[in-house]
Amino acid sequence: MNTTCSPRSCAPATSGVTESLRKPLYNINGNADAYEIRVELPGVPKSGVKLDLEENILTIRGERSTTVPEGMKVLHRELSPLSYLLRLRLNAPVNDEQMTAQLEDGVLMLRLPLKEAAKPRQIPVL
């Protein structure tokens, strides 16, 4: 799923979700200083999360796998391997050196500070 974001809003652009590739649920908040993004990635370990930022497009990937313990066999399965993909187009450049990401209890929290040049400024009228 592609989404276009500005400091005040985000709107979906296109969708490309399949059965094994899903768009995760997410919220985006923002102000003049930063974007804060919350993405739900149930069952995805830290090692299964990949974040890329290129040309103001943030790509979030998550991989959930299922394993059968040794000596056991599958009797019933509803949880299956699953990949998550979310692409967000950021309308303001972010300070990639100050970005933070934290995954806890299946929720990825991102903080993307905006670059100084992207922050709104008031211009005094003389």
Query: Hey, where are the domains in the chain?
Result: 2-116
Taking the C-alpha atoms of residue 26 and residue 40, their distance in angstroms, rounded to an integer, is 6
Q: With H, G, I as helix, E, B as strand and everything else as coil, classify residue 125.
A: coil
- Cβ atoms of 74 and 67 within 8 Å: the answer is no
Taking the C-alpha atoms of residue 67 and residue 124, their distance in angstroms, rounded to an integer, is 62
Given this model, what pLDDT does residue 47 score?
Answer: 94
Given this model, what pLDDT does residue 121 score?
Answer: 75
CA-based radius of gyration for the chain: 18
Taking the C-alpha atoms of residue 112 and residue 96, their distance in angstroms, rounded to an integer, is 7
Given this model, what pLDDT does residue 60 score?
Answer: 97
The CATH T-level fold of domain 2-116 is Immunoglobulin-like (2.60.40)
What is the secondary structure of 50-64 as a DSSP string?
A: EEEEETTEEEEEEEE
Given this model, what pLDDT does residue 6 score?
Answer: 55
**pLDDT values of the chain reduced to their tens digit, one per residue, 126 residues:** 455 555 544 544 444 444 478 999 999 999 989 999 999 999 999 999 999 999 999 999 999 988 888 999 989 888 888 999 999 999 888 998 999 999 999 999 999 999 887 667 778 898
Counted residue by residue, the chain has a size of: 126
What would the two tokens of residue 83 be?
């990949």
| Of residues 59, 55, 69, the one with CA closest to residue 16 | 59
CB atoms < 10 A from the CB of 51, how many? Answer: 14
